[in-house]
C-alpha cells in the first residue's frame, strides 16, 4: 500500500505500479517529518541520470522537519525507463531521438501518483511541489511545459543539461514544435511561476554526461549558461506576446553539479510556496 510512505517518521519506501505502465514499476522513497498529517505539503524530488531515488530522498532527510514537508522521490530505474527517451524526454521520442506522439507519455506519472496519494488518504492537499536536478530538472521543466502539471503549486528545476525552449518553431525535445501546441499553451506556460536554479560553479564541460550535441551547445557552453539562456528565451517569448513572464532564475553561489546542495538551496523557497498554496 502506498500509505507505507508515511508509516513512521524518517525513511520509508514502497514499490508503486503506475496504471499506464503496469510492467514498469517505480520505487518510491519518502522522508516523513515527525509532525505529519494529511495537510502536510508534498514535494516530489526527481533524481538525475544516475536513477538514484534513494539519494534524492536522503538529500531532504534532514530538511523535512525544518520545512514541514513530506518529500517523495520516485525512482525511474534504468531497467524500467531506459535512457533519456523514457525518462527526461517523457517517452515522446524513439531511440533515435525522433518525435513519436503515439507513445504513452511518462510525464503524467507524477500527477497520477499524487492522485493515488489523495485517494489513499496520505494527503488531503490539492497541489504539490516539484524539485528536479540535472536530468531530473529536464523531467520537471518538460513535464510542466507539456501541460502535465494541473496540480503543481511550485517547481524548481536545477542545473539542467539541456532545456525545452519556449519556442513553437523548435522541434521537441529542445522546443515545443510538432507537439500540437499553440499560442494559448505558450501563454499558459509563461504564466506559470517556474523558478530555475543555477549553480554558479556548474561549469565542468569535461564530464562525459554533459550534453555536447550541436543543439545542446547552441543553448550555452555550460549548464550555468544554459539555465540563463532558458530564462532569456522565455522573457523574449513573453515580450513578443505582450505579456509578463512569470519565470525567475536564482544563482546558487559556489555550487557545482551537486544535487544535495541544490536541494538545500531550494528547500525554504519550496516550503514557503507550498505552505502558502492552500493557506
Cβ neighbours of residue 27 under 8 Å, at least 6 residues apart? 13, 14, 15, 16, 53, 74, 75, 77
Which residues are CB-neighbours of 203 under 8 A, at least 6 positions away? 222, 223, 224, 256
pLDDT of 191-217, one tens digit each?
999 999 999 999 999 988 899 999 999
Residue 88 has pLDDT above 80, yes or no: yes
Phi, psi of 268, rounded to the nearest 5 degrees:
-75, -30
The domain ranges of the chain are 2-277
Side-by-side strand order, sheet with 10-16: 10-16, 26-32, 70-75, 42-46, 128-133, 152-158, 195-199, 248-252
Distance (Å) of CA 181 to CA 229, 236, 268: 22, 18, 34
2-277, superfamily in CATH? Answer: Alpha/Beta hydrolase fold, catalytic domain (3.40.50.1820)
Q: How confident is the model at residue 98 (pLDDT cuts 50, 70, 90)?
A: confident
pLDDT band at 1 (very low <50, low <70, confident <90, very high): confident
Look at residue 213 in the predicted model and tell me its pLDDT. Answer: 94
Residue 17 has pLDDT above 80, yes or no: yes
- Residue 79, burial from CB neighbour count under 10 angstroms (0-12, 13-18, 19+): exposed
Using one digit for the tens of pLDDT, what is the confidence trace for 222-256? 999 999 999 999 999 999 999 999 999 999 999 99
Quote the pLDDT of residue 214: 95
The model's pLDDT over 154-190, given as tens digits with 9 standing for 90+, comes to 999 999 999 999 999 999 999 999 999 999 999 999 9
**Strand boundaries in the chain, DSSP class E:** 10-16, 26-32, 42-46, 70-75, 128-133, 152-158, 195-199, 248-252
- 124 pLDDT tier (thresholds 50, 70, 90): very high
Pair 51, 77: CB distance under 8 Å: yes
pLDDT tens per residue across span 27-55: 999 999 999 999 999 999 999 999 999 99
Model confidence at 95: pLDDT above 80: no
Mean pLDDT over residues 47-67, rounded? 98
Confidence class for position 96, pLDDT limits 50, 70, 90: confident
The pLDDT, as a whole number, for residue 101 is: 86
- Name residue 13's beta-bridge partners: 29
pLDDT confidence of residue 21: 98
Amino acid at each position: 500500500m502506498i500509505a507505507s510512505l508515511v508509516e513512521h517518521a524518517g525513511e520509508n519506501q514502497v514499490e508503486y505500479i503506475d496504471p499506464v505502465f503496469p510492467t514498469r514499476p517505480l520505487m518510491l522513497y519518502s522522508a516523513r517529518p515527525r509532525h505529519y498529517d494529511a495537510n502536510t505539503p508534498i514535494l516530489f524530488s526527481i533524481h538525475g541520470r544516475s536513477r538514484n531515488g534513494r539519494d534524492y530522498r536522503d538529500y531532504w532527510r534532514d530538511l523535512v522537519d525544518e520545512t514541514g514537508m513530506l518529500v517523495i522521490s520516485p525512482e525511474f530505474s534504468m531497467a524500467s525507463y531506459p535512457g533519456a527517451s523514457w525518462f527526461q524526454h517523457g517517452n515522446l521520442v524513439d531511440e533515435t531521438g525522433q518525435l513519436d506522439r503515439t507513445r504513452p507519455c511518462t510525464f503524467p506519472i507524477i500527477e497520477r501518483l499524487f492522485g493515488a496519494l489523495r485517494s489513499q488518504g496520505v494527503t488531503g492537499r490539492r497541489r504539490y511541489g516539484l524539485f528536479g536536478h540535472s536530468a531530473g530538472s529536464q523531467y520537471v521543466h518538460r513535464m510542466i511545459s507539456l501541460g502535465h502539471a494541473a496540480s503543481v503549486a511550485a517547481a524548481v528545476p536545477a542545473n539542467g543539461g539541456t532545456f525545452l525552449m519556449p519556442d513553437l518553431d523548435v522541434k521537441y525535445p529542445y522546443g515545443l514544435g510538432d507537439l500540437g501546441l499553440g499560442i494559448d499553451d505558450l501563454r499558459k506556460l509563461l504564466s506559470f511561476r517556474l523558478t530555475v536554479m543555477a549553480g554558479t560553479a556548474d561549469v565542468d564541460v569535461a564530464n562525459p554526461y554533459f550534453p555536447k550535441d550541436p543543439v545542446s551547445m547552441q543553448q550555452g557552453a555550460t549548464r550555468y549558461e544554459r539555465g540563463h539562456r532558458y530564462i532569456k528565451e522565455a522573457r523574449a517569448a513573453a515580450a513578443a506576446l505582450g505579456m509578463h513572464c512569470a519565470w525567475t532564475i536564482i544563482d546558487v553561489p559556489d555550487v557545482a553539479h551537486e544535487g544535495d546542495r541544490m536541494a538545500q538551496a531550494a528547500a525554504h523557497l519550496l516550503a514557503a510556496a507550498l505552505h502558502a498554496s492552500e493557506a
